[in-house]
Amino acid sequence: MSDFKVFDYMAKHEFEQVVYFYDRTTGLKGVTVIHNTTLGPALGGTRLWNYESEDDAVLDCLRLARGMTYKAAAAGLNLGGGKTVLIGDATKVKSEAYFRALGRYVQSLNGRYITAEDVNTNTKDMNYIHMETDYVVGLEGKSGNPSPITALGAFYGIKSALKQKFGCEDISKYTFAIQGAGQTGYYLTEYLLEENAKKIYFSEINPKHIERMKQEHPEVEFVDPDKLFGLDVDVLSPCALGGVLNSDTIPQIKAKIIAGTANNVLLDEDTHGNMIKERGILYAPDFVINAGGLINVYYELMNQPKEKVLADIKLIYDRLLEIYQISEQENIHTQLAAKVFAKKRIQTIKNLHDNYIPR
């Protein structure tokens, strides 16, 4: 028997709501978690995964929903944090009915939660959900592929890190190592090339992506994946999977800055956040630097034009500088400083709404 206690976890991390659902027609089963809606409706994608146990699924959903609260708050958006996980084999369970069944559960939350794409769900699935609810973003013909925007946000984030660390953000003076040349890594490479980066190395494990880079940008040099962390470069940019900054990789790192698009890159936030800080490396907190995709769907939700998105993406630069200042003043690692920054905004807006003002 597992000793995981949902209510204890909810109380400890101040969750608002956990909704379990099972659809008898399609076999859809999953959970939606709403962490915090102080700033607005909870937004977070729907992840479909064949979890080993129900506890694993619920815990993943709880963690991801909480992460969304910080991400939205730090990005200055009027959104809360939420997430949905579906338990199932993505190669077997997906159908129109399956996602329409999910849409009905999303609708039942009456706008407290808005869903979007995530691992193993795509635009087509969102369109099915949309047949049953309006509380879904990332639809065909709307905000589009978030990856170029996410990469652009990371590009501004790299500039702000350069400014913070070296006092100069001129990309042409610096060298870069990019882990992963998939969606975001590829676009980030292009932004860096446009500003004449001194040298870019990349690592990849997908032969198609290696070939694409070699064909399109032969000046970008391929490096074996296990050599990437030890490269003598100015900026290391993780754009692949989570957990890559850990006790094995951190001691190898020669870069003075770590800034990329990947989520949950610190294997253990405090242990590895502190380890990076002690080594004098500036780490751009993942959920702040990679918020471009979320900012993009937020403006889709608000029916705002693309120019607004692009203007807001640029603010990632300033937000990170503010976070670095908190990190220095409070002598804490930058991931923690980013949480302080996000929590402060939530608390301030909450307090602001203490008095009754009719509108």
The site for ligand NAD (CB under 6 A) is made up of: 146-147, 150, 179-185, 203-206, 209, 225, 239-242, 261-263, 290, 293
CB of 244: closest distance to ligand NAD in angstroms? 7
Rg, C-alpha atoms of the chain: 20
Side-chain-side CA neighbours of 319 within 13 Å: the count stands at: 32
| Residue 132 or 286 having the CB closest to ligand NAD | 286
Q: Is the Cβ–Cβ distance between 183 and 208 less than 8 Å?
A: no
| Residue 262 or 336 having the CB closest to ligand NAD | 262
Give the count of beta carbons closer than 10 Å to the beta carbon of residue 291: 29
Work out the angle between the directed axes of helices 334-352 and 306-330 (0-180°, nearest 10): 110
Helix (H) or strand (E) holding 351: helix 334-352
Q: Is the Cβ–Cβ distance between 226 and 218 less than 8 Å?
A: no
Location of structure tokens 């959970």: 31
CB of 10: closest distance to ligand NAD in angstroms? 25
Q: Is the Cβ–Cβ distance between 251 and 230 less than 8 Å?
A: no
| Residue 26 or 69 having the CB closest to ligand NAD | 69
Whole-number Å distance between alpha carbons of 109 and 200 = 47
| Residue 122 or 196 having the CB closest to ligand NAD | 122
8-state DSSP, 20:
E
Q: Which residue is nearest to ligand NAD (CB)?
A: 182
The active-site residue, picked from 12, 29, 83, 208, is 83
Residue 344 falls in the annotated catalytic set: no
| Residue 109 or 178 having the CB closest to ligand NAD | 178
Q: Mapping DSSP to helix (H, G, I), strand (E, B) and coil, where does residue 19 land? A: strand
- Positions marked active-site: 83
